[in-house]
Amino acid sequence: MVTSTHETSHRIFQDHPEVLAPIFEALGMRPPAKASIELLTPDATELKPLERRVDTVLRVEPSEGDAFLLAVEAQTRKAPDKGTNWAYYVAYLRAKFGLPVLLVAVCRSRATANWAAGPFECRVGPWNSQVTYPFVLGPDSVPEITDESAVAQQPALATFSAIVHSESPGVGAILELLARGMRSFDKPTAKYWAELLEVGLENTPARDMWRELEKMVISYFPGRGTVFEEAYYDGEAKGEAKGEAKGKAEGVLRVLEVRGLNVSGDVRARVTDCKDLARLDDWLDRAGTVARAEDLFGEEAEQDAP
C-alpha cells in the first residue's frame, strides 16, 4: 500500500534531487546538476504473480566518476521481509541497467533508521552469499533546519528535513520556523511547499500542528484531504449557496480562527461586509501569514484612517 510518506518521497526526489545532498557529502562527492539526474521506471517486476516496485529509481551522472543508480525507499517502520526485498531490488536493478546501485532508506523514526542501516545478510551456515547495506536518511543523518533564512535558500531540504524529523520532540519549533520562512515565498511557491509537507507528514501529531500553521491555498494534491483543499471547497460550496462574496469572507475568517488568532468584532464585520471579490481574495491569501487578525488589511488600514 502506497502511503502519503511514500508519495511525498517519490515526488520530492523526482522533482528536487537537491535533497540528496547529505548522500553526496557522505560519499565525498559533489552533488550533480539537476539535469544530470534522470528518473527511471520504479518497476522491478519480472513475473506477473510477484509484483515488486521501488518507490523511486534515479540514474545519477556525477560531475566526477561513473554513473550509478539511486533506489529510494520510504520506510516508516520495521518490516521483517524488507531485507529480502531490498536485496532483490539491488540485484535486479544492477542486472537490468548494468550500473552499481545505492539503496537509500528514508526513515522518520530513529529506531527504524537504526534497523534500516542493516546489514541484511543472505547466509548459509558460516558462508555469507550477499549483504545489503542501505544508506539511511534519518534523524541522525539529515540535519534539523534551525535558520529561517535556510528555508528560503533551500526549500526542498528544509521541507524534507521537517518530514524526517516529524517524530522528534522538537518538531513543533521546526514547523514554526518553516512556516515563518515560507512567508518570503511567492504565492504559488508557498502553496506548493506547504502542501507537499502536509502530505508527507501523513496522519501524525506533526501534521495536525502544520495544519494550524499553513495558509489557505488551492490544492496541488486533489483528493488528499489537506486543509487547503477542505477550506477551498468549503468556501466554494458556501459561495454557491450564499453568494460568492459571503463564501469567500467566511473562508477568510475560518483561516484566522484555525490559526488561533483573536478575531475582533470590528475585523469580523469588515470582512463579512466586504463585497469586493478581489479584495477578499487578497485577504484570503494574507490570512495564513499575518501575526494578528488586524494586520489582515495591511496598507488599507492606513489609507482608510482619518
pLDDT exceeds cutoff 80 at 83: yes
pLDDT tens digits, one per residue of 85-118:
999 999 999 999 999 999 999 998 899 999 999 9
- Amino acid identity of residue 64, one-letter, is E
| Banded model confidence at residue 199, pLDDT cuts 50, 70, 90 | confident
Between 135 and 297, the more confident residue is 135
Across 165-169, 201-205, 234-238, 265-269, least confident range = 234-238
Nearest to 85 by CA among 60, 124, 50: 50
Alpha-carbon torsion angle 53, 54, 59, 64, nearest 10 = -150
73 vs 258, higher pLDDT: 73
251 pLDDT band, cuts 50/70/90, is: confident
Quick one: CA dihedral 235, 241, 242, 245, positive or negative? positive
- Residues in Cβ contact with 187 at an 8 Å cutoff, skipping those fewer than 6 apart: 217, 285
- Specify the CATH number of the domain 4-137: 3.40.1350
Which of 16-20, 59-63, 157-161, 273-277: highest mean pLDDT? Answer: 157-161
Query: Which of 215, 220, 219 is closest to 285 using CA atoms?
Result: 215
pTM exceeds 0.95 for this model: no
